[in-house]
Structure 1
């Protein structure tokens, strides 16, 4: 049963709900942006991390993936806790602990005075940040599902999902500059301040809606998401669809630097373009699918378009490596294709998460979103770890082509479009 069929609200709650729901959405955006600045922003420092921590490409890929491993291990428990305890305590505990972990990394796991901490210390910090920061997705998504009705959830969830490229874009713009000028102590310190600010906003604005007390009774009659094969298939599809996006976010800068000789300005420009383009695409996608009621068909369209763009990127990289074209022209073409593929591989997020939460029911959305993000962040761990070995064993062109095939692999798992009356 949807929340829209709950008992009528008291007059004061009914008057407060339309205005306050946007504050709740702002909390969700702030929480996800703060964590995304670390999860999606740190890969933009890959070249500096490789140099400052004295890593090879394999160690770099492992380090960048460990934050995702931490989220994958604890995302589902966080989502189940959000369904049981509510969104506010989970977000406050998770964001506060994440800020503390990042502050510890700033003081003890950052290179200083020419000495680089061991890979083990860096790995421990990143896993810990992932474990604690995994609280933000399920709790904030559940809050959005509780405060917004069906006809506007796609837009609301897509706005919330813009926090991922918003935070990633902010991280891509700020963190490489901080890493080059002030070192990784400043990088982790800035991320700690972002998480602390999001926790403060949560304390001020987030609360349960008045009708949420009825939700557990309504949800009790239906099987939980953990026993629903449709939810598992959709969650697995979301995880697969994120792998090509993570390939772009984690190694686009390395690809552009090593393969085409791009400078820091070009690399930063591409990563910021990917994040800002993804923000715009997610909001437009949510609004468009809310109006047309075609979330499932839209997801399939994104899969096919992303496949074509990654195939074009692979072909362009092969042509650039096989011939000797004008260096500036080749670099520009590859940068455009990387940005386009990254944007398209990110545009579907809000629509997919809305469809998943709708399948599970709003009262169980925290668990369902936790299932999806466990799959997503397992991909965030495996993709950066596998990418250097794949490139070393084959080539960059084949690696990008395989990223496109990964998109197609998710098609059988996506919910089929509903027949229109």
Structure 2
């Protein structure tokens, strides 16, 4: 584990911490979102079937799901700085190794590629809890919604970079170049983290736990499980829009990239808007429910227009993808605040487990469902999941009902 020194810094440093959290999250998202969108190139370059493609891509999510609670517990124990550095450096090293020995020309085979992506997800997923906990410890409750939403916006922003950059790079220069670029993203983020990320003085000198484990909190589990369901349409659109438009609609790859970019960028803007509203008094749990319902309606429209004129199909998928990307800021803030700042790493780890577990299962279910039915059924399946998340999300609570520890912060 990377060890670091801890100089004294002021409360204004929280904005630097937020920026570093965004950079780290964006580096991971460029890999996590960008690689699936190279699905056509992955399938051709590595000689994969559509089912094998879904499995390989899903291994990224499985790796995150397998490691996130562990990373969260370690973050609460050792601090966000050490864990974030450890994850960024190790993921960058893995990407460098893949650039050297796991490109299609090296003939790694499906099991080796799947194992590499599983490990990439397990290591890279450390940024989820560690960067989120850093934001929690530096921002007070009346600013956490916006701060956490900005951090979560790094997911679609970094994903947009990956979506725009990696497919044409894979097509023009191959996957050796793809992995080399991702190596650069992770190592640059690690260098910035090592230089500028510091914990609040109170966090360094006193790591005591003032609240019960979030793993024993029913509302924490409900938010986490609802988030997993909301991930299904998000990842269905992310991973299979390119394949659907290529195979079923014979559309150009640029159209698929545009759909995903609209979903990512629009979803990021929606995250910031909902996060800011929550700081001004809007209830985060209600926001999660509303987004779930709207996502279900939009995905149902995508199913209904699967074989309509192409502009209608593209518009429906882009809208559904945008909404499916809009819930993260309020959900991640809510689960962290419910757990308390001193236990936020564990709660965010649980959130990552359900979210990325769904990201693993979805690419397995979609090819099987497609083989048995049609693309209409695939998009209908993606509509049912967020609908189920609506009643699962805990009911709104009065501000006075929140635990005192949820209001702890390092500065305003």
Same-fold call, TM cutoff 0.5: yes
Question: Given that residues 278 and 330 in structure 2 are in contact (C-alpha distance below 8 angstroms), is that contact kept between their aligned partners in structure 1?
Answer: yes
Displacement after TM superposition at 1:284 (Å): 1.1
Aligned to 2:371: 392
Question: Given that residues 26 and 155 in structure 2 are in contact (C-alpha distance below 8 angstroms), is that contact kept between their aligned partners in structure 1?
Answer: yes
SS of residue matched to 1:128: helix
Q: Residues of 1 paired with 2:107 and 2:316: CA distance?
A: 35
Deviations 1:370-401 (A, max 9, x none): 00101111111110111111111111111111
Aligned to 1:235: 224
Aligned to 1:324: none
SS of residue matched to 2:280: helix
Q: Does 1:268 align with 2:257?
A: yes
Q: Does 1:283 align with 2:298?
A: no
SS of residue matched to 1:162: helix
Alignment of structure 1 residues 70-149 onto 2, 5 Å: 70-112=63-105, 116-149=107-140
Question: Given that residues 290 and 390 in structure 2 are in contact (C-alpha distance below 8 angstroms), is that contact kept between their aligned partners in structure 1?
Answer: no
Change (3 A) 1:174 1:376: same
Question: Given that residues 72 and 349 in structure 2 are in contact (C-alpha distance below 8 angstroms), is that contact kept between their aligned partners in structure 1?
Answer: yes
Deviations 1:284-333 (A, max 9, x none): 1111221133211111110111111011111111x53xxxxxxxxx1121
Deviations 1:196-245 (A, max 9, x none): 0110111011111122257643x33x311122122112111111111110
Question: Given that residues 259 and 318 in structure 2 are in contact (C-alpha distance below 8 angstroms), is that contact kept between their aligned partners in structure 1?
Answer: yes
Q: Residues of 1 paired with 2:345 and 2:177: CA distance?
A: 33
Question: Which of the numbers 48, 52, 65 marks the counterpart of 1:59?
Answer: 52
Question: Which of the numbers 258, 271, 293 marks the counterpart of 2:282?
Answer: 293
Question: Which of the numbers 22, 33, 48 marks the counterpart of 1:29?
Answer: 22
Question: Given that residues 289 and 391 in structure 2 are in contact (C-alpha distance below 8 angstroms), is that contact kept between their aligned partners in structure 1?
Answer: no
Deviations 1:21-70 (A, max 9, x none): 11000111011100111111111100111111111100000010001111
Q: Residues of 1 paired with 2:90 and 2:381: CA distance?
A: 37
Change (3 A) 1:420 1:25: closer
Question: Given that residues 256 and 331 in structure 1 are in contact (C-alpha distance below 8 angstroms), is that contact kept between their aligned partners in structure 2?
Answer: no
Aligned to 1:171: 162
Aligned to 1:346: 325
Question: Given that residues 159 and 283 in structure 1 are in contact (C-alpha distance below 8 angstroms), is that contact kept between their aligned partners in structure 2?
Answer: yes
SS of residue matched to 1:312: helix
Change (3 A) 1:308 1:412: same
Q: Residues of 2 paired with 1:208 and 1:215: CA distance?
A: 11
Residue-pair matches, total: 393
Question: Given that residues 54 and 116 in structure 1 are in contact (C-alpha distance below 8 angstroms), is that contact kept between their aligned partners in structure 2?
Answer: no
Displacement after TM superposition at 1:178 (Å): 0.7
Change (3 A) 1:420 1:140: closer
Question: Given that residues 132 and 148 in structure 2 are in contact (C-alpha distance below 8 angstroms), is that contact kept between their aligned partners in structure 1?
Answer: yes
Alignment of structure 1 residues 284-363 onto 2, 5 Å: 284-317=273-306, 319-320=307-308, 330-363=309-342
Q: Which 5+ residue runs of structure 2 have no aligned equivalent?
A: 1-7, 401-412
CA RMSD of aligned residues (A): 1.5
Alignment of structure 1 residues 157-168 onto 2, 5 Å: 157-168=148-159
Q: Does 1:200 align with 2:196?
A: no
Which consecutive segments of 4 or more residues in structure 1 shift more than 4 A?
none
Q: Residues of 2 paired with 1:268 and 1:408: CA distance?
A: 26
SS of residue matched to 1:410: helix
Question: Given that residues 261 and 331 in structure 1 are in contact (C-alpha distance below 8 angstroms), is that contact kept between their aligned partners in structure 2?
Answer: no
Aligned to 2:390: 411
Which range moves more in the overlay, 363-372 or 225-234? 225-234
With the length of structure 2 as denominator, give the TM-score of the two structures. 0.93
Deviations 1:136-155 (A, max 9, x none): 00000000000001111000
Aligned to 1:9: none
Q: Residues of 2 paired with 1:203 and 1:130: CA distance?
A: 22
Question: Given that residues 289 and 389 in structure 2 are in contact (C-alpha distance below 8 angstroms), is that contact kept between their aligned partners in structure 1?
Answer: no
